[in-house]
A and B are shown apart, each in its own frame.
Chain A
Amino acid sequence: MDLQIALLLGQDGVVNGAIYALLALALVLVFAVTRVIFIPQGEFVAYGALTLVSVQAGKVPGTLWLLLGAGLVVAAIDIALALRVGNRRRLPAIVGWNLVLPGAVAGALYGLDLAQLPMALQVVLALAVVVPLGPMVYRLAYQPLAEASVLVLLIISVAVHFALVGLGLFFFGAEGSRTPAFSDASFQLGTLNVNGQTLWVLGASFALIVALYAFFGRTLYGKALRATAINRVGARLMGISTTLAGKLSFALAALIGAFSGILIAPITTVYYDTGFLVGLKGFVGAIIGGLVSYPLAAAGALLVGLLESFSSFWASAFKEVIVFTLIIPVLLWRSLTSHHVEEEE
């Protein structure tokens, strides 16, 4: 291996690592707020990428049907509940989020000439289809069990992952797709050839991280999420709805997931089940951070990205084995350094 190849691999590793870092941040966020280990994160990655592929091909993406269907079910349940307790004031919000919004997205998808839209609008449309699925998934699968143990929530996560992967196969078929790059520009940096997509990924990841930082540090909702993460009961006593906090964190996770998918779609071919492995690599990063520390999780994710790209050079068949075995020394280290924590069921 010479310097040229090392730099190239390093570049690959950092790009993938940036994506894993985004996912790791979302996983830490969701776990801290809701105690859910969000295995289905990866499906949002695949949904984001493949929905954009459909939109760019001028087709209405299959995920729209999932959005409409899930919205309908959520609305039916919530309206029935609201009527039973006589709380009519909630109805406009329920109808707005679950029926009107998906309807508007459907209208836009059918009304516009999708293939001819500028890329930025296509991305926005794809996000508009996928992101609302986050809170809907929370409402349907997790909210009835919000007080259950981490273990039960984890099993639910795996079940949701199963269902979403199966639906992904139905919507997008077994073939993989790629999208065109955000920009064709490429730059010469010494001997290294940096292409535009790399800069896009790094720039977007960085911007998203800064935005999250501002959201959590400066806004009321961000602070409410942080409060819920620290103490659910205390936050509830202060008038913060833990349900809202759960939905909000799932919306953010869905946004980050779908956006990550859109970012990687030009770099690698995305299949309906690609997201799972991508998401799990974010996980390995998040576990390095002990599922609580954002900076450590991001650093761990970068490490995973670099390890992956270098191992694909030396032993490409064993790439996945190497990446997922990394978790063993990490767990060993955590087990030796952390004090025993009591966990009650």
Chain B
Amino acid sequence: MRYLKLVLLALLLAAPMVLPAFYVTLLNYIGLYALVALGLVLMTGVGGITSFGQAAFVGLGAYTTAYLSTAFGLSPWINLVIGLGLTALVALFLGLITLRLSGHYLPLGTIAWGISLYFLFGNLGFLGGHTGLTGVPVLEVLGLRLEKGEEFYYLVWLVLLGAMLATQNLLDSREGRAIRALKGGSLMAEAMGVNTTRSKTVIFLIAALLACLSGWLYAHLQRFVNPTPFSLGIGIEYLFMAVVGGAAHVWGALVGAGLITVLKQWLQDLLPKIFGQSGNFEVIVFGVMMILVLQRAREGLWPILLKLLPAAAHPHAVPAGEPLPKREAPAPGTVLLEVKNARKEFGGLVANNNMSLSVKAGEVLALIGPNGAGKSTMFNVISGVLPLTSGEVRFLGERVDGLPSRQIARRGMGRTFQHVRLLPTMTVLENVALGAHLRGHKGVLAAALRLDREEEARLLAEAARQLERVGLGQHLFDEAGSLALGQQRILEIARALCSDPCLLLLDEPAAGLRYLEKQALA
């Protein structure tokens, strides 16, 4: 595996010296497209949200630098900063208005935005209308003029590989776990203290910025911009690249971009000859291919390629690190939780009829009742998953009803779920580390640049410690989905413990367990 990477890197370095100019150009475009597709991998495959409007962000980056450098003679590097700023503003605004709504509003919003911007580019006089802008200056890097495709090639691929590495780093971090938890539904992630709306906004922002960066490079490579490459159709093609390549994998972006670009080139030559007329017939093939990929290999091509390669030996060292700071434990006997006249109605059904209870520190309180008695509803009301109809909930003396569940989690309440909610494809260790989300503070940038390693080690060590404590020490690196139900329930307890709670809510921890598993739980 290591050798393979080195060989690939050497090939990449040598490519512009040995290949004819045509292929170097093709490789340049693949690099630029892969950069955009990478953002979509982060959004679609990892985060479970999507955008059809990435081409518009590419256009924003390209037009910003093209216009500012031709009209005002500004340096491309200043334009890059302005373009990124502009893109961030648009993406934040679009995210703000769509990401709180259910999942399909963002893609629909990006379709509308993609069309609007395309027509805007084509109709604004100062942007050259449909003919575009010419005479975009040559890019200079450290005094080198990148005039030819072969020279530009190294910049494109350097940027792309850097972005891929940073993305991979990000995914393997505290923030990355939060992003990967988005696909499992926001309920569990929120209960672990993840602000899911913020996480979604972050990945949309990253994807938009990558697209803008690609557009900036494009404008200085092509030295000419017009609206055509930024249309909605191209935006959809970017999504195809991510999905066909393997939307859940960083390398899928590169595979998809390469495949679609080469295929498009080939089909554009071939199909008009077959059909006997000219036109963009490759879209038929792309459409059908996309449907087949989603029906037959939803994960895309990268996992299939990966199976052909020798499996890399992953280091499975039990993580070690300083213990995390613990919160001050309340003195035994102080009142932790107080529920007064809590009432929850679903339409005409009263699930909790003016319930009152209180829990003191050091106490174990069981809530029992037959099926449908409203036990889980009570738990959901206490942990902020469901709003109360009337009454109040106080936690550590503070009113918490009406707060979102992540705020309550931050105050020191950990919980498990009646129906196990974990991320089956992530490792046991990562699942549990998600519980410690609120005990770390390093952000996205620190993660991408690997400045978070010390904290990350401490988080993982804490997760490993809790897993030892509940007896899952030998399963740290197994996929969580491969555990038996009883072990999954125990995993949830370890995850809740990881948040260093002063109150632990266990919702039917023994439901569906065998006798031995029940004994193990006890």
A18 CB within 8 Å of chain B: no
Q: Which DSSP category, helix, strand, loop or mixed, fits chain A's interface?
A: helix
Docked-complex contact B112 and A163, CB < 8 angstroms: no
CB pair A343–B287 under 8 Å, yes or no, is no
- Contact status A164-B49, CB under 8 Å: no
**CB-defined contacts of B98 to chain A, threshold 8 Å:** 331, 335
Chain A nearest CB from B5 CB (Å) reads 31
From B182-190, B365-373, B407-415, the one touching the partner chain is B182-190
Docked-complex contact A345 and B119, CB < 8 angstroms: no
Interface residues on B, range: 35 or more
Q: Does A159 reach chain B (CB closer than 8 Å)?
A: yes
**CA–CA, A317 and B281, complex, Å:** 28
Contact A151 B116 (CB under 8 A): no
Inter-subunit contact A166/B284 (CB<8 Å):
yes
Q: Tell me, yes or no, whether A284 is within 8 Å of chain B by CB.
A: yes
Q: Could you say which of A152, A169, A341, A345 contacts B298, with CB atoms under 8 Å apart? A: A152
The answer to whether A151 touches B48 (Cβ under 8 A) is yes
How far in angstroms is the closest Cβ of chain A from B244?
Answer: 10
Tell me the nearest residue of chain B to A143, going by C-beta.
Answer: B295
In angstroms, Cα B183 to Cα A344, docked, is 8
Would you call A324 and B97 a contact (CB within 8 A)?
Answer: no
Alpha-carbon separation in the docked complex, A284 to B111 (Å)? 11
A210 within 8 Å of B by Cβ? no
Is the CB–CB distance between B49 and A151 below 8 Å?
A: yes
**Contact A161 B287, beta carbon cutoff 8 Å:** yes
Q: Are B295 and A144 in contact (CB under 8 A)?
A: yes
How far does the alpha carbon of A321 sit from the alpha carbon of B102 in the complex, in Å? 25
Is there a chain B Cβ closer than 8 Å to A220's Cβ?
no
* B290 close to A331 (CB less than 8 A): no
The answer to the question of A267 belonging to the interface, with a C-beta cut-off of 8 Å to chain B, is no
Contacts of A169 in B (CB 8 A): 279-281
Taking the complex as formed, is A117 at the interface, i.e. its CB lies under 8 A from any CB of chain B?
no
Residue in A closest to B115 when the chains form the complex, CB atoms: A324
In chain A between 67 and 87, which residues have their CB closer than 8 angstroms to a CB of chain B? none
B35 neighbours in A (Cβ, 8 Å): none
Kindly state the separation between the CA atoms of A284 and B113 in the bound complex, as whole angstroms: 12
Does B243 have its Cβ within 8 Å of any Cβ on chain A?
yes
Known A152-B298, A159-B291, A342-B186; judge A284-B112 contact (CB<8 A): yes
The A153-170 residues at the B interface (CB cut-off 8 A) are 154-156, 158-167, 169-170
- B291–A343 CB distance below 8 A: no
Q: Mask for A282-314, Cβ within 8 A of B = 1, else 0?
A: 011001000100000000000000000000000
Are the CB atoms of B185 and A327 closer together than 8 Å?
A: no
Could you tell me if B236 and A324 are in contact, using CB atoms closer than 8 angstroms? no
> A169-B280, A320-B119, A342-B185 are contacts. A280–B286 as well, Cβ < 8 Å?
no
Task: Name the distance in Å between A336's Cβ and chain B's nearest Cβ.
Answer: 9
- Whole-angstrom distance between the alpha carbons of A345 and B49 in the complex? 11
If A327-B109, A328-B97, A341-B102 touch, whether A162 touches B277 (CB-CB below 8 Å) is no
Partner of B286, one of A159, A173, A283: A159
Instruction: Identify the closest chain A residue to B239 (Cβ).
Output: A155
Q: Is the CB of B120 within 8 A of A340?
A: no
* A151 and B183 alpha carbons, distance in the complex (Å): 11
A343 touches B103 (CB 8 A): yes
Q: Is A332 an interface residue (CB 8 A)?
A: yes
Q: Does B327 contact A (CB under 8 A)?
A: no
Contact assessment for B284 and A167 in the assembled complex, using a CB-CB cutoff below 8 Å: yes
Q: Does A57 contact B (CB under 8 A)?
A: no
Q: Which residues of B contact A104 (CB under 8 A)?
A: none
Given A320-B116, A328-B97, A331-B98, verify A166-B287 contact (CB < 8 Å).
yes
Chain A residues contacting B280 (CB-CB under 8 Å) are 166, 169
Q: Given contacts A149-B48, A334-B105, A338-B100, could you give 14 more A-B pairs where the C-beta distance is less than 8 Å?
A: A141-B291, A149-B103, A150-B104, A155-B50, A156-B294, A158-B236, A163-B283, A164-B287, A166-B279, A166-B282, A169-B280, A324-B112, A331-B101, A335-B98
Question: What are 15 A-B contacts defined by CB distance under 8 Å?
Answer: A154-B107, A158-B239, A158-B290, A159-B286, A160-B287, A170-B279, A280-B111, A321-B116, A324-B119, A328-B109, A331-B97, A335-B96, A335-B98, A340-B100, A345-B183
4 smallest CB-CB distances across A and B, nearest first, come from A163-B287, A166-B284, A162-B287, A159-B290
Binding site for A on B (CB under 8 A): 44, 48-50, 52, 96-98, 100-105, 107-109, 111-113, 115-116, 119-120, 123, 183-187, 233, 236, 239-240, 243, 275, 277, 279-288, 290-291, 294-295, 298
